[in-house]
Amino acid sequence: MATLNSQQRLAVRHIESPVLVLAGAGSGKTRVITHKIAYLIDQCHLLAGAIAAVTFTNKAAREMKSRIGQLLPKEKTRGLTVSTFHTLGLNILRREQNFMGLRAGFSLLDAQDSLAIIGDLCQHESSGSEEKASLQWRISTWKSALVAPERVLQIAGNNQEKNAAQIYTAYERRLRAYNAVDFDDLIALPVHLFITYPEVLSRWQSRIRYLLVDEYQDTNEAQYQLIRHLAGIRGAFTVVGDDDQSVYAWRGAQPENLQELKRDFPQLTVIKLEQNYRSTTRILRVANQLISHNPHVFEKRLWSALGEGDPIRVLVCRDERHEADRVIAELMYHQFKHRTAYRDYAILYRGNHQSRLFEEGLRSHGIPYILSGGTSFFERAEVKDIMAYLRLLANEEDDNAFLRIANTPRRGIGATTLEKLAGYAALRGQSFLASGFELGLGEYLSGENLVRLRRFCHWIVDLADRSRRSDPIMVIRDLIKEINYEAWLDEIGNDRRGVERKMAHIEALISWLERLYQREEGQSLGDLVAKINLQDILERTQEKKDQDAVNLLTLHAAKGLEFPYVFMVGMEEELLPHRTSIEEGALEEERRLMYVGITRAQRNLYLTLAEKRQQYGETLARESSRFLLELPASDLQWEQEGVFRDPAERMERGQAHLAHLRALLR
């Protein structure tokens, strides 16, 4: 208790009525939950098995368990429940499966499984993949709102809604026939169980004598009803949340559940945690000013004892490429000047598509990075395809690469042909490519199948020979033209903009290879591929928490994290706030998202915007985000391109650039 401030101690010790802890960003909410569990066990003599703490992610649950383990000996925590909402729901269903018409060993379907069922139910409809995904989202939304199929059928208006309602009904029947539940059922079915069978509810209320809920602002209707039923008239619970950090409306989160709590539990005690242990006073002043433009059920204002801090720098850039270059230049200069670690820096953006130029720039400067909340450059299918070609050209023994590209794009080399080739290669103890030329293969394959396979093998060997005798970069460009890869992407997809994005990723890969090739003459294609493969392996295998790397992540993925130095990029209308949110009048959540981004920064915050940006193939003028106008002007330092710098700073920046060049050469 000695390490807690007065408000934190009040939240921990209050057990006379239900408690809502309004925990501002960086105010120590997890500390309150873990210390309260220790207080309930140690001071209130409640058995650990009668306490349940729920949160939203396995990572958060693990962190909570770890901290409780530091506060209490293991024997005192035996039987304690610390889990996600969905794990708690699954445990309830397993114990009460008979009441729900489920048989022992029922299956839990993941998103892909449920999408496959929906696709099967739509097989006679002219539904594409987007329509099926939309149906899946609608069904999930109905379940999260506790709306049964029968009710949806009653309120369906037009034919499209009726069709969706019928598929929802059929989907539910199919799940029960399979003795299966989906992810949303893990919350919705226990609520239905408690409403239908009061004796079951009474049993669970006796089992869980005290309930603690983390990230309460992210609860949907079903999760709130689960909390309400388990708490019952005793109201023995503490929920911890921050309505200013509710940024998941798109997956059903309802910050208005804070209001519902006050209505359903009139004796509710509200305790505010406003002291922030993360950020400087200036960063918090900017965050407070921004979020004050949103309506509030409960007012709070963050404060800090960590000092005033530096001004918030606003970097105005020509376009998105200049934005990436400028951010990386600032990062390199700051890191060189202060001798900080790369892991101290984060680049935050509204959408995953914004990461590409930052990834490209960091790679070209040899700066390690971790991509969170999106697809890594090397995980993209189109990059994997082209890299598989290059791996096979560099190493004709690479059978995995051979299998990936033999029929990508389609060239009539089917699964049966490849199985027979693999069998022959195993018998001969050699690679697939070498086996493709042997006369003995004719005993396993014949006719057009053999002709197509050998044509492909000859072409690969010819390309490999050309790459050794001439400029490998030109050979790579020829390869992409010869396989007509862009046309194939067009053929398998129905989204022209998506094809353009994929081709841009391939161009980024080639440009990177070209820079590597120009940096050191005489490198073979094998050398280039080896360097890129090493980067890929490091990205995939290094422990992220131990890796000294710049963090690239979306604002949504940044929630709950903190970094000494933060760059928030793309501060423009239609990016932040997002165009869809502007059209749908959802500006309050966009403002909360920016608030989350600002409050990730501990010491320094940079905001960037571009005067022009490419959109759907054309360059358009951009307007600065309305949110920038809501920030206190005296705390912002606007910097146009070419802003005057004193000679000492210019020299330091030059030294930083030279230091990075030397590191690259090493």
Mean pLDDT of the chain: 85
Residue 33 vs residues 8, 61, 226, 337, 562: alpha-carbon distances, Å: 10, 11, 19, 40, 19
25 annotated ligand-binding residue: yes
Q: How far is CA 597 from the centre of its chain?
A: 15
Class of domain 107-178: mainly alpha
Question: CB-based burial of residue 299 (10 Å sphere; 0-12 exposed, 13-18 middle, 19+ buried)?
Answer: exposed
pLDDT tens figures, 22-74: 988 899 889 999 999 999 999 999 999 999 999 888 788 888 999 999 999 98
13: which 2 tokens?
């010790």
53 annotated ligand-binding residue: no
313 annotated ligand-binding residue: no
- The CATH number given to 378-540 is 1.10.486.10
Question: CA neighbours within 13 Å on the CB side: how many for 610?
Answer: 23
CA distance 339 to 552: 20
Count CB neighbours of 105 within 10 A: 8
Domain boundaries, the chain: 6-93+197-273, 107-178, 303-368+547-665, 378-540
Class of domain 6-93+197-273: alpha beta
Parallel/antiparallel/unpaired status of strands 612-615 and 618-621: antiparallel
pLDDT number for residue 542: 42
* 533 has a pLDDT exceeding 90: no
Residue 641 vs residues 140, 314, 319, 321, 323: alpha-carbon distances, Å: 47, 11, 11, 13, 10
CA distance 330 to 358: 13
User: How does residue 126 score in pLDDT terms, banded at 50, 70 and 90?
Assistant: very low
Catalytic residues: 29-30, 214-215, 245, 600
Closest CA to 365 of 616, 564, 658: 658
83: which 2 tokens?
């889990």
370: which 2 tokens?
């971790």
pLDDT number for residue 624: 93
Count CB neighbours of 564 within 10 A: 16
pLDDT number for residue 365: 87
26 annotated ligand-binding residue: yes
CB burial string 603-617: b at 16+ within 10 A, e below: bbbbbbbbbebeeee
- In contact, 347 and 551? CB cutoff 8 Å: yes
> DSSP string covering 197-227, please?
-HHHHHHHHHH-SEEEESSGGG--HHHHHHH
- From start to end of 494-600, where are the E strands? 550-554, 563-568
pLDDT tens figures, 452-479: 999 999 999 999 999 888 888 899 999 9
- In contact, 430 and 410? CB cutoff 8 Å: no
* 658 has a pLDDT exceeding 70: no
28 annotated ligand-binding residue: yes
29 annotated ligand-binding residue: yes
- Same fold flag, 107-178 and 378-540: no
pLDDT number for residue 113: 73
CA distance 417 to 537: 31
CATH architecture classification, 303-368+547-665: 3-Layer(aba) Sandwich (3.40)
493 against 502, higher pLDDT: 502
pLDDT number for residue 462: 92
N residues, the chain: 666
C-alpha R_g of the chain: 29
Q: CA geometry: angle at 473 spanning 467 and 479, to 5°?
A: 70
Highest mean pLDDT among 45-49, 173-177, 179-183, 420-424: 45-49
Q: CA geometry: angle at 152 spanning 148 and 154, to 5°?
A: 120
